[in-house]
Homo-oligomer: A and B are copies of this chain.
Amino acid sequence: MAIGRPSPSSSQTPDPGAARRTSRARGIPEATVARLPLYLRALTALSERSVPTVSSEELAAAAGVNSAKLRKDFSYLGSYGTRGVGYDVEYLVYQISRELGLTQDWPVVIVGIGNLGHALANYGGFASRGFRVAALLDADPNVVGSTAAGLPVRHMDELEDIVVSQHVSIGVITTPPGAAQLVCDRLVEAGVTSILNFAPTVLTVPDGVDVRKVDLSIELQILAFHEQRKAGDEPAGDSVLDRAPGPVRAAAAKLRRAAGGGKSAEPAKNAPAAQGPEDDLSAVMPA
């Protein structure tokens, strides 16, 4: 029945439930929360151009969303607009920043300084909006000495000390998939309660810990799906069987299983999907 770890819930990004409970507590829907940063970015741009007020229609266009949706989103934060005029840009910037918790300082650790970790350390979006890279960590002794984005790469052994002493509550994982769960466990154990996971692995965490994942491969696969649809390329296969009624399917399934490990029938001819081994280790960090 229970597979893998028993009690901890393996919540991931698109999972309602855990995250929902948190935000619905005082009413802001998760979908709205996910859009607030988008609005904030558009508002910041307006603020820099010294635009005093903006209508929901304009702001919605800038953020690429429906204007009614935007108004409803803002209504969850309170009523910060003026009918007939629009929204006060500066005030809204402040309100959203406050709601997102950006008026405080968020120290962040990045674990796994490969290509991606290195890129993230240099990423401007980290420095802005109250996020501060507290430390870069890696297990590889060859990397530990070096610096990235002006910061020294420190050894994994210092993880617990850093998290505790610097009050780090957000961790970013850019390790190879094999190491991700271990790193995650150590982060959580040390006190981190929010994790941004770039490794292509499902992380299992205790309740109360949020995990969001960013998976480049998944994004590409979703695009490929739609791309295939656009090309009118209905996947052929044995689609006649797929919806066949009753015992027909059963017989087919039995045959498939009987064919054994030798990738029988259709799959054998052209299936680059199941490519080389170690799909798990070659990703995210080559080294």
Residues of chain A having any CB pair with chain B under 8 Å: 1-4, 10-12, 14-15, 19, 22-23, 25-26, 31, 33-38, 40-42, 44-45, 47-48, 50, 52-53, 57-58, 61-65, 77-82, 85, 88, 90-91, 93-95, 97-106, 108, 114-116, 118-120, 122-131, 169-170, 193-196, 200, 202, 204, 208, 210, 212, 214-230, 233-235, 237, 239, 241-243, 249-250, 253-254, 256-257, 260-261, 263-264, 266-267, 270-277, 279-280, 282-284, 286
Beta-carbon contact of A93 and B274 below 8 Å: yes
Q: Distance in Å from the Cβ of A52 to the closest Cβ of chain B?
A: 7
Complex Cα distance A217/B97, Å? 13
Cα–Cα distance between A52 and B112 once the two chains are bound (Å): 34
Extra A-B contacts (15), CB below 8 Å, given A25-B229, A37-B222, A97-B271 = A3-B58, A34-B222, A37-B217, A37-B221, A44-B279, A47-B274, A53-B257, A94-B271, A102-B224, A103-B272, A103-B273, A116-B119, A129-B273, A196-B220, A210-B227
A210 shortest CB reach to chain B, Å: 5
- Let me know if B102 and A250 touch, CB within 8 A: no
Tallying the copies of this chain within the complex gives 2
Contact present for B210 and A123 (CB under 8 Å): no
A221 to B37: give the CA distance in the assembly, Å. Answer: 7
Chain B residues with CB under 8 Å of A33's CB are: 222, 225-226
Q: How far is the CB of A204 from chain B (nearest CB, A)?
A: 8
- Do the beta carbons of A102 and B10 come within 8 Å of each other? no
Which of these, B119, B123, B193, B271, contacts A227 with CB under 8 Å? B193
Bound: A131/B219 CA distance, A? 12
CB <8 Å contact, A263 and B90: yes
